[in-house]
Amino acid sequence: MRTARPPAEIPLTRLGHAEPDLLEELLTTVRRVARTGAFTLGEHSEGFERDFAAYCEIAHAVGVASGTSALELALRALRVGPGDEVIVPANSFVATAEAVSAVGAKPLLVDVDPDTHLMTADHVAAALGPRVRCAIPVHLYGSTVDMEPLLRVTRAAGVAVVEDACQAHGARYRGRRAGTLGDLGCFSFYPTKNLGGWGDGGAVVTADSELADRVRMLRSHGERTRYRHEVVGGTARLDAIQAAVLAIKLRELDGVNDERRRLGRVLRHAFAESGIAMPRPPFVGADHVYHLFVVRSHARDALRLHLRAAGIASAVHYPKPIHLTEAYAHLGLPRGSLPVSERLAVEVCSVPLFPGMSNGEVDRVIAAVVESSTAEAGVAASR
């Protein structure tokens, strides 16, 4: 007797280059880079930097080794260092704080809004002090921070702004691209990002040619010309193979984001109808490019087990707010000090959303999340 095959596993994300034509084009460009022998900097890197700056509608883009190095170099370009403080939301990937630590400054961790999960102007205003040199709003999940009020606060205080747009490539905030609203914007091209390479990579964008010039020097031993070391830099370049791959994938980014937005609307509508909690964008009509689709549940771990049993992957972004990680215990912020971020860490669950997701996969994700929440509501009612 034949047993029915279980439905295929739905991953959290599926990388798009499996498509044969695209894969062939990407392999051809890698071969081209190999033939030139120019694996760092050179024409492919410069070409991608031009394309990415044009895409972001800003004067300069500098390719760097990762999103973390983008943040670090942006802070170094602003001459943020020992003795300085930088405002960072506790509800972010640890890299946002790591970059601050790497330049010798202190991350001043603040809480986030319970509805949007993002840092607001009020959080920044409350954290200002004589040592604060910079704030890093993070466009988490692909949802943009409400930048206008935040920039009013930072400008009045003479505080620089570095945007962490590592999850928000191509998102718009009141018409402008995420990453182009502060002094510098930072991107990661980690493979799973909305624009992802075949390895690590990142970029810093800015309208300021002096800052761009400093980032360019800092990523490559403080040089403008070979062996003339003007400042202390290091090795943090985007390599040419990544740049060539990214230049091709950049052409698809608007389409990829549109597909993510469409899937996001479908999931959001279905979950809203079933009373499932989700972060909301900061204002009506705000853009969201759904790098991650996040739901909230008081029974998050039961939801994840239910999804796993239904063959659906899930993840937690992030299981600990930054101040409760071992790495940042030295900041001395106890449990209870940033209550919204702490609550989110136990309630959030990212569910699959990726371009190319079939209607059947979308339906399975919706059904499983709704089933789990209905079951939990039943348990809660009988308690």
Q: Which tokens in the block code for residue 156? A: 């009045």
Q: How far is the CB of 202 from ligand PLP (least distance, A)?
A: 5
Site for ligand PLP in 185-224 (CB under 6 A): 188, 190, 200, 202
Q: Which is nearer to ligand PLP, 95 or 153 (CB)?
A: 95
Distance CA 235, CA 308 (A): 41
Distance CA 305, CA 375 (A): 13
Q: Which stretch binds ligand PLP (CB under 6 A): 24-32, 160-168, 253-261, 280-288?
A: 160-168
**143: contact with ligand PLP by CB under 6 A:** no
Q: How far is the CB of 36 from ligand PLP (least distance, A)?
A: 25
Q: How far is the CB of 68 from ligand PLP (least distance, A)?
A: 3
Query: x/- string (CB under 6 A) for ligand PLP, residues 50-89?
Result: ----------------xxx---------------------
Question: Which residues pair with residue 161 across a beta bridge?
Answer: 135
* Nearest residue relative to ligand PLP (C-beta): 67
Q: How far is the CB of 217 from ligand PLP (least distance, A)?
A: 20
Distance CA 165, CA 204 (A): 10
**93: contact with ligand PLP by CB under 6 A:** yes
Q: Which is nearer to ligand PLP, 124 or 140 (CB)?
A: 140
Q: Which tokens in the block code for residue 17? A: 């280059």
Q: What do you get for the CA distance between the two ends of the chain, in Å?
A: 43
Cβ neighbours for 377, distance < 8 A, ≥ 6 positions apart: none
Going by C-alpha positions, the residue among 217, 124, 200 that lies closest to residue 162 is 124
**341: contact with ligand PLP by CB under 6 A:** no
Residue 343's alpha-carbon distances to 29, 71, 97, 115, 329, in angstroms, are 46, 27, 20, 12, 18
Q: How far is the CB of 31 from ligand PLP (least distance, A)?
A: 25
**180: contact with ligand PLP by CB under 6 A:** no
Q: Which is nearer to ligand PLP, 276 or 322 (CB)?
A: 322
Amino acid residing at 269: H
Binding residues for ligand PLP, total number by CB under 6 A: 15
Q: What is the DSSP letter of 70?
A: H
Bond into 318 cis (ω within 30): yes
Q: How far is the CB of 168 from ligand PLP (least distance, A)?
A: 9
Find the binder of ligand PLP among 13, 45, 91, 96 (CB under 6 A). Answer: 96
**29: contact with ligand PLP by CB under 6 A:** no
Q: Which tokens in the block code for residue 121? A: 């102007």
Q: Which is nearer to ligand PLP, 188 or 372 (CB)?
A: 188
Distance CA 86, CA 107 (A): 5
Find the binder of ligand PLP among 111, 146, 164, 259 (CB under 6 A). Answer: 164
Distance CA 137, CA 168 (A): 12
**111: contact with ligand PLP by CB under 6 A:** no
**138: contact with ligand PLP by CB under 6 A:** yes
- Where b means 16+ CB within 10 Å and e means fewer, 84-108 reads bbbbbbbbbbbbbbbbbbbbebbbb
Binding site for ligand PLP (CB under 6 A): 66-68, 92-93, 95-96, 138, 164, 166-167, 188, 190, 200, 202
